[in-house]
Structure 1
Amino acid sequence: MRVLSFSEKGCIRKNNEDSFLVLSAEGLYAVADGMGGHRAGEVASSKALQELEVWLPRLDGLDDQALENSLAEAFRQANRVVYESSITDPENAGMGTTLTVLLIRNEKVVIAHVGDSRAYLWRNETLTPLTMDHSLVGELMRLGQITHEEAKKHPQRNVLMRAIGAEAVIEVDCRSINLQKNDVFLLCTDGFSNLISEQELTEEFLEPYSWEERLEKLRQLTLERGAPDNFTALCCILE
């Protein structure tokens, strides 16, 4: 497994509230996009990843379904910690974070997800979304009430329906797929996916460049488009 990543504050934000985690020996990769005032988003995203790392030994030796269940419970533990901090510390009031995790074990990969960060699979020259945005516009699109183009300009496009720490109890999306040779997984926050379309990702991934060059071109393109939000991308390449 080869891992490439970048995480930047963008062109407008004063600090980076995104966090990411790479634990290649354990097969764990994650991105988190924090939210909240006075750096509370940064606190939320880092706390969530810390709890995930603490939980990691409990995932050893589990079969497929037990692995999904335990990873979902890791999310619920992270939610409890972030939520408790948000209601007891005035500086952290209202904080929360997205959390998208990729766990590779043997010939399987488990994807767990809350929020509007994303996971994609690049396989056989085809890009496949592995997560569903837990956002207001995402829900409106699924109901057929707005189009993809309308979602890009919707005044409430940043409103999340689910986030780690937003409520006392959280629902976690979790799924498993079989690995194949040459699979590539991309995890990213919405500061990246809001500016780079799936069509553009596909076109770039088809270009005859190295993965390092592809990711660098996408990073530069995000900055050229003004990068109004923090943006993070984590690319896991099976070779």
Structure 2
Amino acid sequence: MRVLSFSEKGCIRKNNEDSFLVLSDQGLYAVADGMGGHRAGEVASSVALHELEMWIPRLEGLEDLALENGITEAFIQANRVVNESSLTEPENAGMGTTLTVLLIRDEKVVIAHVGDSRAYLWRNEMLTPLTMDHSLVGELVRLGQISLDEAKKHPQRNVLMRAIGADPTIEVDCRSIGLQAKDVFLLCTDGFSNMISDQELTEEFLEPSSWEERFEKLRNLTLERGAPDNFTALCCIME
């Protein structure tokens, strides 16, 4: 398996509040998009990934539902630590982060998710979203109250309904799917997905070029479009 990644502050932000984690020996991959005042978002995303990494040994030997429950507990622990820090340390007040995790175990993949960072599967020349945005506009789209095009321009498109650290408790989306040869998984923050549409991803993935070339083209395209937010993408390519 190959792993490609990039994480940049973009063209406007002064610092990068995104973080990502690659633990190939454990089959774990994650992206996090932090939020909060004066570097608090950067703290939130890095703390959440640190807690996730510390939790990994507890997942050894777990399978099926027990493994999903174990990853959910890792999210709960990360939420607890980030929330407590936001309440007890003034410089971290109000901080939080998205967290999207991919865990590859044998012939199975577990996807766990909170926030509006995303996970996609590229299989048989088709792109499938594996996560739902836990955002206000995401909920409005699901309810049929606004269209996808309206969501892209909605004044409250950055409002999250769920985030690690925002509340003392957290609800985690967690699911498992079977792994197939030549599967490609993409994890990304909204600074990337807001600039590159699903249709554009599909078209680029169909191009007769290497994954390295495709990934670099998408990175450059995000920058060319002004990259108003930090943006991170991580690609796991099964071979």
Shift of 1:116: 0.1
Distance 1:214 1:135 in 2: 28
Distance 2:52 2:153 in 1: 34
Map of 1:10 onto structure 2: 10
Distance 1:86 1:6 in 2: 28
Map of 1:178 onto structure 2: 178
Q: Are 1:97 and 2:101 an aligned pair? A: no
Map of 1:152 onto structure 2: 152
Q: Which letter does structure 2 place at the counterpart of 1:66? A: A
Distance 1:132 1:72 in 2: 16
Q: How many residues align?
A: 239
SS in 1 for 2:205: helix
Map of 1:227 onto structure 2: 227
Segments of structure 2 that go 5 or more residues without pairing to the other structure are: none
Distance 1:109 1:149 in 2: 31
Matches within 5 A, 1:1-239: 1-239=1-239
Segments of structure 1 that go 5 or more residues without pairing to the other structure are: none
SS in 2 for 1:131: coil
Shift of 1:63: 1.4
SS in 2 for 1:233: strand
SS in 2 for 1:34: strand
Distance 1:178 1:41 in 2: 34
Distance 2:32 2:13 in 1: 16
Distance 2:115 2:178 in 1: 24
Shift of 1:139: 0.1
**1:103-150 superposed Cα distances (whole Å, 9 cap, x missing partner):** 000100000000000000000000000000000000000000000000
Q: Which letter does structure 1 place at the counterpart of 2:210? A: S
Q: Which runs of 4+ in 1 moved over 2 A?
A: none
SS in 2 for 1:177: strand
Shift of 1:85: 0.1
SS in 2 for 1:100: strand
Distance 1:153 1:114 in 2: 22
**1:128-176 superposed Cα distances (whole Å, 9 cap, x missing partner):** 0000000000000000000000001100000000000000000000000
Q: Which letter does structure 2 place at the counterpart of 1:97? A: T
Distance 2:171 2:73 in 1: 10
Q: Which letter does structure 2 place at the counterpart of 1:116? A: D
Q: TM-score, normalised by structure 1?
A: 1.00
Distance 1:146 1:209 in 2: 36
Q: Which letter does structure 1 place at the counterpart of 2:188? A: C
Shift of 1:73: 0.5
User: RMSD of the TM alignment (CA)?
Assistant: 0.3
The share of aligned pairs that are identical, in percent, is: 86
SS in 2 for 1:196: coil
Q: Which letter does structure 2 place at the counterpart of 1:93? A: A
